[in-house]
Copies of this chain bind each other. A is one copy, B any other.
């Protein structure tokens, strides 16, 4: 054997080893649709549920059109602390619009927003909050609002992570959405957040198209303006898609009962009840418990946003799966 032959052989062998390694790794990745989940109970529960309902001729089989899964958004698919992203948006909008509203300088709760006085803002209560939300969300067409949201998201940054909000989504949940869809599920968002605040970006970020987003809404009005049809956003609440509103929103938009529901707070309690308490057929309920102060946040019963109290008790009673973020998630956010 010449040196040259030997080198060729060695290179060939090395390439062969590299190729086999590659095959092993990619086969593992293929076999594991949830690589950011540790091999703990929640992952096992999800996979077991999906295998049950997709196995034909099994008593638990669910036909594809009925494989409806619903996901809360704030705190379930993306970060909700230190305040709901939509509130950060509203505060920024008030600041941006202030030049056109000189009266805001002397009128609460706008004055508090402009002065960054969160204490006074908080003291203005639900009524004050609603005034801020309406000022930020109404008074334009739906097309204009969509652009405002997209423009804001392109530049706004989360105060703790210094990243765009759309990057502060949970990698394990992105994998879960994909995994369910790969198994014939239709995935819906059912959020207390504004339906038109979410739709401009959910398709790109979560793979959930606008028609599969359910949320809170204000009233809109159809008008022909100078021969052009438009939908004008009015400063009146139309629907609050939270708590007991979630099953109502699900019924109104989807028209069938989901077989799986994912949430993280008491606002999701009724959605999980409606999904799972059907007596008989296999259903899946899951709560994300924020236990990871290091990588994200740790909060539950005593928090202001995303309180998880009654729903945590109900989870024990109803055998809903509770994700311990710190223990069950290998990775929290997507790598850029």
Question: Could you list which residues of chain A lie within 8 angstroms of chain B, going by C-beta atoms?
Answer: 65, 68, 142, 186, 195-196, 199, 203, 209-213, 217, 220-222, 224, 227-229, 231, 238, 244-248, 251-256, 270, 273-274, 277, 279
Contact = CB atoms under 8 A, between A and B. Distances in A.
Contacts of A245: 222
Contact of A222 (B224, B256, B270): B270
Given A247-B231, A279-B228, A209 B252 contact: no
A222 B247 contact: yes
B274 A248 contact: no
Nearest to A250: B231
A242 to B, nearest CB: 11
Contact of A229 (B224, B247, B253, B254): B247
Contacts of A229: 247, 270, 273-274, 277
A324 to B, nearest CB: 27
Given A229-B270, A229-B274, A247-B231, A255 B222 contact: no
A76 B228 CA distance: 25
Given A229-B274, A247-B222, A277-B228, A255 B213 contact: yes
Give the copy number: 2
Nearest to A255: B210
A171 B227 CA distance: 35
B224 A65 contact: no
Contact of A224 (B203, B228, B273): B273
A256 B221 contact: no
Contacts of A255: 195-196, 199, 210-211, 213
Contact of A217 (B68, B228, B238, B252): B252
Given A65-B203, A222-B274, A229-B277, A256 B211 contact: yes
Contact of A248 (B199, B209, B213, B231): B231
A253 B222 contact: no
A256 B142 CA distance: 10
Contacts of A217: 252
